[in-house]
A and B are shown apart, each in its own frame.
Chain A
Amino acid sequence: MSSVDVRARMNAIGVLKEKFKIILDQIQRGEKPTLVMPKRVLSNTIYDEKNKMLLLGPDVLRRSLIDVNEARKFMQTLLMASIIYEALVNNEYPTIRDLYYRGKHSIGYRDVDGKLVHENTWDEQKESDSVIRDLEVFMNVLREEMLILSKEKGKVVGNLVIKSGDDTIDLSKMGHGAYSIEPTPDLVEFKDVDAEYVLVVEKDAVFQQLHRYGFWRKYRAILVTSAGQPDRATRRFVRRLNEELKLPVYVLTDSDPYGFYIYSVFKIGSITLSYESERLATPSARFIGVSMTDVFGDEVFREVLDEVKEVGGFTKTALGKLKKKKPYLSESERRNYVIKAKQRDIERAVELVGYDVADKCVESSELRSKLKKKEGLTGYPWFRTPNWVRELCIFFKTLNKLEIEAMASKGLKFLADTYIPSKIEGGDWID
Chain B
Amino acid sequence: MSSEAVEKYKAISPAEFFYKYKEIAGFANPARALYQTVRELVENALDATDSHGILPDIKVVIQRADPVQEFYRVTVEDNGIGIPPDIVPNAFGRVLFSSKYVLRQTRGMYGLGVKMAVLYGQMTTGRPIEVITSKREYRRIYFFKIRIDINKNEPVVLERGSWRKQRDWHGTIVSLTIEGDWGKAKARIKEYINRTATVTPYANIVMYTPDNEVILYKRVIETMPRPPKEVKPHPYGVDLEMLKMIIESSKEPTILEVLVENFQSVGEVTAKDLLSKAGIDPSSNPRDLKEDDLLRLINTMKSYNQFKPPSSSAISPLGVEVIKAGLTRMFEPEFVDAVTRKPSTYEGHPFIVEAGIAYGGKVPLSEADKPILLRYANKIPLLYDEGSDVITSVVKEDIAWDNYMVAFPAQLVLLVHVCSTKVPFKGVGKESIADVPEVRREIKLAISEVARRLRGYLTAKQKELETQRKVVHLAKYIPEIARSLEVIFSGDGFDKDTLVKRLVGIISAKTGIPENKINEVIRGVEIGA
- A interface residues with partner B (beta carbon < 8 Å): 16-17, 20-21, 23-24, 27-28, 30-33, 65-66, 68, 71-72, 74-75, 78-79, 81-82, 85-86, 105-112, 118-119, 121
**Can you name 20 A-B pairs with beta carbons within 8 Å?**
A17-B488, A21-B489, A24-B489, A27-B506, A32-B510, A33-B503, A65-B503, A65-B507, A66-B507, A66-B510, A75-B484, A82-B484, A107-B525, A107-B527, A108-B525, A110-B521, A112-B465, A112-B469, A112-B472, A118-B528
Instruction: Please determine whether A107 and B528 come into contact, CB atoms closer than 8 angstroms.
Output: yes
Instruction: Please determine whether B506 and A66 come into contact, CB atoms closer than 8 angstroms.
Output: yes
How far does the Cβ of A52 sit from chain B's closest Cβ, in whole Å? 38
List of A residues within 8 angstroms of B484 by Cβ: 75, 78-79, 81-82
Residue in A20, A24, A82, A105 whose CB lies within 8 Å of B527 = A105
Interface string of B473-508 (1 = CB under 8 A from A): 110110111011101110000100001001101110
Assess whether B526 is interfacial by the CB under 8 Å rule. yes
Cα A188 to Cα B385 in complex, Å, equals: 90
Q: A28 and B502 in contact (CB under 8 A), knowing A79-B480, A105-B528, A107-B480?
A: yes
Residue in B473, B494, B502, B506 whose CB lies within 8 Å of A71 = B473
Specify the chain B residue showing the minimal Cβ separation from A120: B528
How far does the Cβ of A105 sit from chain B's closest Cβ, in whole Å? 5
Cα A23 to Cα B488 in complex, Å, equals: 12
Assess whether B123 is interfacial by the CB under 8 Å rule. no
Instruction: Please determine whether B528 and A24 come into contact, CB atoms closer than 8 angstroms.
Output: no
Cα A29 to Cα B505 in complex, Å, equals: 11
List of B residues within 8 angstroms of A81 by Cβ: 484, 488
Cα A79 to Cα B510 in complex, Å, equals: 23
Specify the chain A residue showing the minimal Cβ separation from B483: A82
Specify the chain B residue showing the minimal Cβ separation from A31: B506
Top 3 closest A-B pairs, CB basis? A106-B528, A82-B484, A82-B487
Residue in B465, B479, B502 whose CB lies within 8 Å of A30 = B502
Instruction: Please determine whether B473 and A110 come into contact, CB atoms closer than 8 angstroms.
Output: no
Cα A199 to Cα B479 in complex, Å, equals: 52
How far does the Cβ of B438 sit from chain A's closest Cβ, in whole Å? 46
List of B residues within 8 angstroms of A32 by Cβ: 506, 510
Instruction: Please determine whether B529 and A105 come into contact, CB atoms closer than 8 angstroms.
Output: yes
List of A residues within 8 angstroms of B479 by Cβ: 107
Instruction: Please determine whether A107 and B510 come into contact, CB atoms closer than 8 angstroms.
Output: no
Cα A20 to Cα B473 in complex, Å, equals: 22
Q: How large is the interface on B (under 10, 10 to 19, 20 to 34, 35 or more residues)?
A: 35 or more
Residue in A30, A71, A82, A107 whose CB lies within 8 Å of B485 = A82
Specify the chain B residue showing the minimal Cβ separation from A72: B477
Cα A68 to Cα B468 in complex, Å, equals: 12
Instruction: Please determine whether B488 and A108 come into contact, CB atoms closer than 8 angstroms.
Output: no
Residue in A27, A82, A85, A106 whose CB lies within 8 Å of B499 = A27
List of A residues within 8 angstroms of B342 by Cβ: none
Assess whether B511 is interfacial by the CB under 8 Å rule. yes
How far does the Cβ of B440 sit from chain A's closest Cβ, in whole Å? 42
List of A residues within 8 angstroms of B507 by Cβ: 65-66
Residue in A33, A74, A105, A109 whose CB lies within 8 Å of B506 = A33
List of B residues within 8 angstroms of A21 by Cβ: 489
Instruction: Please determine whether A108 and B510 come into contact, CB atoms closer than 8 angstroms.
Output: no
Instruction: Please determine whether B477 and A74 come into contact, CB atoms closer than 8 angstroms.
Output: yes
Which of B468, B506, B521 has the largest count of A CB atoms less than 10 A from its CB? B506
How far does the Cβ of A347 sit from chain B's closest Cβ, in whole Å? 40
Instruction: Please determine whether B485 and A75 come into contact, CB atoms closer than 8 angstroms.
Output: no
List of A residues within 8 angstroms of B528 by Cβ: 105-108, 118
List of B residues within 8 angstroms of A110 by Cβ: 472, 521, 524
Assess whether B509 is interfacial by the CB under 8 Å rule. yes
Assess whether B470 is interfacial by the CB under 8 Å rule. yes
- B interface residues with partner A (beta carbon < 8 Å): 465, 468-470, 472-474, 476-477, 479-481, 483-485, 487-489, 494, 499, 502-503, 505-507, 509-511, 521, 524-529
Instruction: Please determine whether A74 and B521 come into contact, CB atoms closer than 8 angstroms.
Output: no
List of A residues within 8 angstroms of B489 by Cβ: 17, 20-21, 24
List of B residues within 8 angstroms of A85 by Cβ: 487-488
Cα A205 to Cα B510 in complex, Å, equals: 60
How far does the Cβ of A225 sit from chain B's closest Cβ, in whole Å? 39
List of B residues within 8 angstroms of A121 by Cβ: 480
Instruction: Please determine whether A107 and B476 come into contact, CB atoms closer than 8 angstroms.
Output: yes
How far does the Cβ of A346 sit from chain B's closest Cβ, in whole Å? 45
Residue in A66, A68, A74, A111 whose CB lies within 8 Å of B481 = A74
How far does the Cβ of A108 sit from chain B's closest Cβ, in whole Å? 4
Q: A30 and B477 in contact (CB under 8 A), knowing A109-B472, A112-B468?
A: no
Instruction: Please determine whether B511 and A119 come into contact, CB atoms closer than 8 angstroms.
Output: no
How far does the Cβ of B528 sit from chain A's closest Cβ, in whole Å? 3
List of A residues within 8 angstroms of B525 by Cβ: 107-109
How far does the Cβ of A72 sit from chain B's closest Cβ, in whole Å? 7
Instruction: Please determine whether A109 and B521 come into contact, CB atoms closer than 8 angstroms.
Output: yes
List of A residues within 8 angstroms of B524 by Cβ: 108-110
How far does the Cβ of B107 sit from chain A's closest Cβ, in whole Å? 45
Which of B480, B488, B502, B506 has the largest count of A CB atoms less than 10 A from its CB? B488
Instruction: Please determine whether B472 and A75 come into contact, CB atoms closer than 8 angstroms.
Output: no
Specify the chain A residue showing the minimal Cβ separation from B464: A112
Specify the chain A residue showing the minimal Cβ separation from B471: A112
Specify the chain A residue showing the minimal Cβ separation from B469: A112
How far does the Cβ of A54 sit from chain B's closest Cβ, in whole Å? 32
Specify the chain B residue showing the minimal Cβ separation from A66: B510
List of B residues within 8 angstroms of A31 by Cβ: 506
List of B residues within 8 angstroms of A108 by Cβ: 524-528
Instruction: Please determine whether B485 and A119 come into contact, CB atoms closer than 8 angstroms.
Output: no
Cα A57 to Cα B118 in complex, Å, equals: 94
How far does the Cβ of A76 sit from chain B's closest Cβ, in whole Å? 9
Q: A20-B489, A68-B473, A105-B529 are in contact. List 10 more A-B contacts (CB 8 A).
A: A16-B488, A21-B489, A27-B506, A30-B509, A32-B510, A66-B511, A78-B485, A107-B476, A109-B526, A111-B469
List of B residues within 8 angstroms of A71 by Cβ: 473-474, 477
Which of B470, B479, B487, B525 has the largest count of A CB atoms less than 10 A from its CB? B487
Residue in A27, A33, A66, A86 whose CB lies within 8 Å of B487 = A86
How far does the Cβ of B201 sit from chain A's closest Cβ, in whole Å? 32
Cα A66 to Cα B507 in complex, Å, equals: 6
Cα A20 to Cα B492 in complex, Å, equals: 13
List of B residues within 8 angstroms of A23 by Cβ: 485
Cα A75 to Cα B477 in complex, Å, equals: 6
Specify the chain A residue showing the minimal Cβ separation from B465: A112
Instruction: Please determine whether B505 and A30 come into contact, CB atoms closer than 8 angstroms.
Output: yes
How far does the Cβ of A28 sit from chain B's closest Cβ, in whole Å? 6
Cα A74 to Cα B476 in complex, Å, equals: 12
Q: A65 and B474 in contact (CB under 8 A), knowing A110-B521, A112-B465?
A: yes
How far does the Cβ of B499 sit from chain A's closest Cβ, in whole Å? 6
How far does the Cβ of B516 sit from chain A's closest Cβ, in whole Å? 15
Cα A23 to Cα B479 in complex, Å, equals: 15
List of A residues within 8 angstroms of B510 by Cβ: 32, 66
Cα A118 to Cα B527 in complex, Å, equals: 9
Instruction: Please determine whether A27 and B468 come into contact, CB atoms closer than 8 angstroms.
Output: no
Instruction: Please determine whether B488 and A75 come into contact, CB atoms closer than 8 angstroms.
Output: no
List of A residues within 8 angstroms of B480 by Cβ: 75, 78-79, 107, 121
Specify the chain A residue showing the minimal Cβ separation from B510: A66
Specify the chain A residue showing the minimal Cβ separation from B502: A27
Cα A415 to Cα B211 in complex, Å, equals: 102
List of B residues within 8 angstroms of A33 by Cβ: 503, 506
Specify the chain B residue showing the minimal Cβ separation from A20: B488
Cα A105 to Cα B527 in complex, Å, equals: 7
List of A residues within 8 angstroms of B505 by Cβ: 30
Which of B468, B476, B484 has the largest count of A CB atoms less than 10 A from its CB? B484
Cα A101 to Cα B480 in complex, Å, equals: 16
List of B residues within 8 angstroms of A30 by Cβ: 502, 505-506, 509
How far does the Cβ of B480 sit from chain A's closest Cβ, in whole Å? 5
Specify the chain B residue showing the minimal Cβ separation from A75: B477
